[in-house]
Amino acid sequence: MKKVFFVCVFFFLATFIGCSSEKKDVTLSPDNGLPYFFYPNDLAKQDSVAANLAYGTYFTVHPQGAYKLSFDVDPSYTAPFLQLHRVSFNEDGTRYSSRRVRNLKATEINGRWEYSFVSEESDLAIWATTLVGEDHDYYSGRVDHFLFEGTGLYSSSFNLNLIVTGSFKGTADGYDENDLAAKLITSFRNIYQGIQIDTIFIRYAEFHPKVGHLYPDNEPWLAGTSSKDVMLNELGGWPEKTIYDALDLVLVHRIDESTGVLGYSSLFSANLGGGEGSTIVLGTHMKNTSTSETWLKADQIVETAIHEVGHFFGLRHTTTTIADFTGLQDFSSFEDGIDDTEWCSSVFGYALTKRKSIIPTDIYVRRPLMPKVYTGATSYGNLNECPDASNVMFPFVTDVPITGFSKGQLEIISKNLTLIPH
Ligand SMILES: [Zn+2]
């Protein structure tokens, strides 16, 4: 009996020593609840992502996307290993499990540690980071000037699909769905320079082969009230071969969740197929109070669509709003970080005074929605005077005519479009 015992102990020790001699082959899983996410080609400052990179931040990867994550060398430390973990969330996004998929050694280039990798996923997936330091523990050095870049193999053109829901009665200035679609594609082609928009389809929710029966054509669709899902994800990825990969613009009567909202998209929802993140929601009306609404003109709907599609491809607001801070929880990213866009200090100043009253929200996979907001309030000062008021990605409706995207914004859209299967 004794003999057997000693044999076992010896075997156990040998195994243990054998394992620990393989340097860096430990797995450090995310241990912090993954409070922050990032996405490719975003230039915002993202101090919170940098501070949490070692312990767990998450991001989206697309099939065959080529990515590079980098930050400044910390001369007091040896380069950490970047471990990447494939993450699965439970249904309400409150729990997750992770499996390590990469263990990457840094390459030092011009004072920066760089980690390059290609996603071999067959579909959009969520990965998370950890950094493993010298002692097989979470890296505790500095992560400065964090940057995440990505390019993909897909084309720089895409189609639009206008999905009409419920009892659509046209716009306030008399555009029917055909007129509106024509105006949409003309305006998109003007503003999305360098990106080819081939065509726009029109489909009706009532005729959807699977869920059409849920969308009666004789009542106005109130997003968030008529059905629970304010984004109407089930309509995204229209089940026809030529339309499936089009960007789905779902036209509803109004967004009923809150007042003053003209449209909704998720930040870098980046899904041209079906399911979560595959839709952009646009109202023909805007809710003012529970009993009143404003009927919108075609111009307002089209401008909102162009703005929301910017978010879809990863553009932030030129100036961060309180709602953005609430969702993203990163006060370092007060503007988009793009060199050739302006930002507005009066919007930012107001956000700061409200900072203490902001309630944290669960962001996990359900990334924050980015609404285009109408505000008559003077609490932000005169928004017409903001230097970024004429940019497509200014977060509020003003009297200033929209001039378009900057070159820097268009570059981000172009790169991210090539990552998204379509
Ligand atoms: Zn927005």
pLDDT means per 10 residues, the chain with 422 residues, are 42 41 73 87 94 94 97 98 91 80 98 97 94 95 97 96 97 98 98 96 98 96 93 97 98 91 90 95 93 95 95 91 76 87 77 42 44 58 85 88 95 98 96
Task: Judge residue 290's burial from the number of C-beta atoms within 10 Å of its C-beta, 0-12 exposed, 13-18 middle, 19 or more buried.
Answer: exposed
Residue ranges per domain, the chain?
37-151, 157-419
- Angle at the Cα of 66 from the Cα atoms of 61 and 71, rounded to 5 degrees: 90
| Ligand 1 centroid from CA 395, angstroms | 5
State the fold for domain 157-419: Collagenase (Catalytic Domain) (3.40.390)
| Ligand 1 centroid from CA 69, angstroms | 26
**CATH architecture of the domain with residue range 37-151:** Sandwich (2.60)
Neighbours of ion ligand 1 (CB under 5 A): 370, 372
Specify the pLDDT at position 349.
59
SS3 383: helix
| Ligand 1 centroid from CA 372, angstroms | 4
Q: Which of 184, 243, 247 is nearest to 208 (CA)?
A: 243
Whole-number Cα distances in Å, 166 to 262, 324, 337, 346: 17, 30, 40, 39
Specify the pLDDT at position 398.
84
| Ligand 1 centroid from CA 81, angstroms | 36
| Ligand 1 centroid from CA 413, angstroms | 15
Specify the pLDDT at position 381.
62
Specify the pLDDT at position 320.
83
| Ligand 1 centroid from CA 137, angstroms | 40
| Ligand 1 centroid from CA 370, angstroms | 5
Per DSSP, the residues of 258-311 read STTEEEE-BTT---SSSSTT-EEEEESEEESSSS-EEEPPHHHHHHHHHHHHHH
| Ligand 1 centroid from CA 304, angstroms | 8
| Ligand 1 centroid from CA 264, angstroms | 8
Place of tokens 């509020």: 396
| Ligand 1 centroid from CA 371, angstroms | 5
Specify the pLDDT at position 243.
98
| Ligand 1 centroid from CA 163, angstroms | 20
Report how far residue 56's alpha carbon sits from residue 36's, in angstroms, rounded to the nearest whole number. Answer: 8
Specify the pLDDT at position 34.
83
| Ligand 1 centroid from CA 265, angstroms | 8
Specify the pLDDT at position 93.
66
